[in-house]
Amino acid sequence: MSGRLLRRVLKEQEEQQLHDQELDEEFDDSPKRGAPSRNLFDLLGDQEDVEEADDLDNQGDAAEQAEHVTRNSSNVVAANIRKTKKKKNKGKDDKPRPKSDVEKIEQILEDLSIINKAPIQQTEQNTTAIQKELDEANPKKHSVSSILAVDPKRLKAENELRKIFGAKVVSSFENSHSGSSSRQVHGGRRVAHNPRKTILVTPSSYWPWWDRSMSMELLETKEGFHYFRYVHSPSYRHAQEAFEAAKEINDLNAIAAVLAHYPYHVESLLTFAELFKYSGEHQSSADAIAKCLFALECAWHPLFSPLQGNCQLKYTYDTNKPIFSALFSHMKNMDRRGCHRSALEVCKLLLALDHDDPKGALFCIDYFSLRAQEYRWLEQFAEEYQSDNSIWLFPNFSYSLAICRYYIEQDAAPGNETSSTGKATSGDLMKQALMLHPLVLQKLVAKAPLKDSAWTQILKHSFFGSAKAGSPTLDHLINIYVERNYIMWRFPELQNLLKEAALLVIEMLKQNNSEAWDWQCVRQEAFSSDKNEYSHLLVSDFSDVVPTLPPEELRPLMVAPHMMHHHHHHHHHQIPDGNGEAVAPERAPAPRDVAGRNAVAVFLESLLPWVDFGHENHEDHEYPDDGDQNFNDDLH
């Protein structure tokens, strides 16, 4: 092997080790990344010099640290009382500890990775002992977990963007968008602190400190799965009450005030993310979602290792719900930026966290696999995901597995097709899909749209032209499939595959009509319920198109007139009220960098404690899309 290749292999190994180290340090509570001093001026974006702000921070820090540790420990004690029945905890350390020299030394050692300091909750031996006990409790792991194992390297969009555009392009883009001078001064201290390493998103150094307002408890372990639940601290519950009250009276200022005091209140962030999305500010929306995920990850339990696929956060607990909403939005943001491989990894995580799949990850995982060209993985997933092998009966899998097989056949070396492992060909799979769900063809022709005159002929045949779903569940799933995947059918080679299969089906039905009847029976048996079993999934959630009107529960927040006259805002904006008339507050001329932007968005941004219009508006770095715009509807 050449010297250059050897160097590359070594470098990759080294990166892998570094990466593993980062994962090990995940739950590190060292002072460097510890609790913030609860200084509201910091959160509101103080304008002091860096040195001054640093001093302020350090004075309050030791006391705050002690206070946070105490609060954290009391939560832990409560959680552990519940746990003692399951395992004997030895070497518990629940006393509040102010920062000592010993800890500072530990910090240095830990930075040199000589030791790995365990979090306050458990000493290290203890954690591994419990882990061992849990593993021994059930040696046979569920097969689901292996197929859904998540690769942390592929979770982050920036890694994929570096692959697509090259590291140089991405880093120069980041630098040009990071507003080097203005931001460094504005918000002083925040630039200096070193955010903790997280795997879901990369926190920016100017985000507020993680405030430890949430934690997580282990509920039970059964059949090789560990069940967890998020736990809110008293301060977080207070924030939650304030948020509920603000939403009740449609007061956006009050929700912004919750964020000023609790910058990581997840539901307030999710609300702003949605509002930004509907006003076309996708970057600000993605940023709010990233803050959510950062907070939710910081609260993880030491034994919570979601990437292995053996941890469950049941959606039935209210405190667990936000991570599902945040991950689902995050997945769509990745897709919008052309990072389909990262979106697939997030989708696997969503499915792994609760096998009841509350968000319908199962109905878009095929799409992301196809877009990321993970064809072999998708076939393996379809074989292994459920023991009864019925997954291909769903409309999205019946069609996507045919597409999948088609691309695998295309990739195969010529002459090798015959020696394939006796698997059905893409043509056969496509015919099967059409026999099982003929209604899909009718809807795809309308939605894609497929203009060729051949489709008019095909739809003249009653099997396709007057196809019915036959059950509310199936009708709903077909609508979701068409909404999520119709864009795939703009590829000419797939249109040909579909057309040839459809013509063969029509020929076959001329010879023998009984087969149509057989497939109808299969369909009726698989989807027999007379009510829609997936009514909790909205078709619009699977769409790339963002409507300009927010849904019912958000609309009042956008247009409630009493929030328009808040003394903070002199930005020029008009927000339509319920009757479509514009309501304009008293106003002064808008700052220059606001001009020409969506008025609602500027107003929303002006409410947020971390945005300052004198400087940069955007928190996060925008990335170029994947140049796929004619394919992914342009959403900007």
Whether the full predicted model's pTM is greater than 0.85, yes or no, is: no
CA 31 – CA 37 distance, rounded (Å): 11
Least confident of 68-82, 360-374, 430-444: 68-82
> Once rounded to an integer, what is the mean pLDDT over residues 562-585?
38
**Residue 115 DSSP code:** S
Residue-level pLDDT at 552: 86
Residues 6+ apart with CB under 8 A from 380: 147
Closest by Cα among 240, 234, 231 to 265: 240
Residues 6+ apart with CB under 8 A from 379: 401, 404, 405, 408
Mean pLDDT of the chain: 75
Show the DSSP H helices in 448-471 as ranges: 453-460, 462-465
The residue type of 77 is: V
With bands split at pLDDT 50, 70 and 90, how would you rate the model's confidence at 175?
A: low
> Once rounded to an integer, what is the mean pLDDT over residues 474-494?
97
- Give the SS3 label for residue 582: strand
Is the pLDDT at 463 greater than 80, yes or no? yes
Report the share of the chain in percent with pLDDT over 90: 50
Residue-level pLDDT at 173: 65
Phi, psi of 154 (to 5 degrees): -100, 5
Residue-level pLDDT at 421: 61
Q: Which two structure tokens, joined as six digits, stand for 586? A: 């008293």
Residue-level pLDDT at 438: 97
Q: How many CB atoms lie within 10 A of CB 597?
A: 17
Q: Which two structure tokens, joined as six digits, stand for 274? A: 């949605």
Q: Which two structure tokens, joined as six digits, stand for 385? A: 């995901």
DSSP string, 350-404: HHHH-TT-TT-GGGTHHHHHHHTT-HHHHHHHHHHSSTT--GGGSHHHHHHHHHH
Closest by Cα among 237, 225, 187 to 208: 187
Pick the more confident residue, 161 or 86: 161
> Once rounded to an integer, what is the mean pLDDT over residues 542-571?
69
Is the pLDDT at 109 greater than 70, yes or no? no
Distance of CA 519 to the CA centre of its chain: 37
CA dihedral 54, 55, 60, 64 (to 10 degrees): 40
Residue-level pLDDT at 248: 93
Least confident of 66-70, 365-369, 558-562: 66-70
Is the pLDDT at 54 greater than 90, yes or no? no
449 close to 455: Cβ distance less than 8 angstroms: no
**Residue 121 DSSP code:** T
Q: Which two structure tokens, joined as six digits, stand for 338? A: 């052309």
Residue-level pLDDT at 226: 96
Closest by Cα among 601, 632, 628, 630 to 617: 601
Helix (H) or strand (E) holding 312: strand 311-313
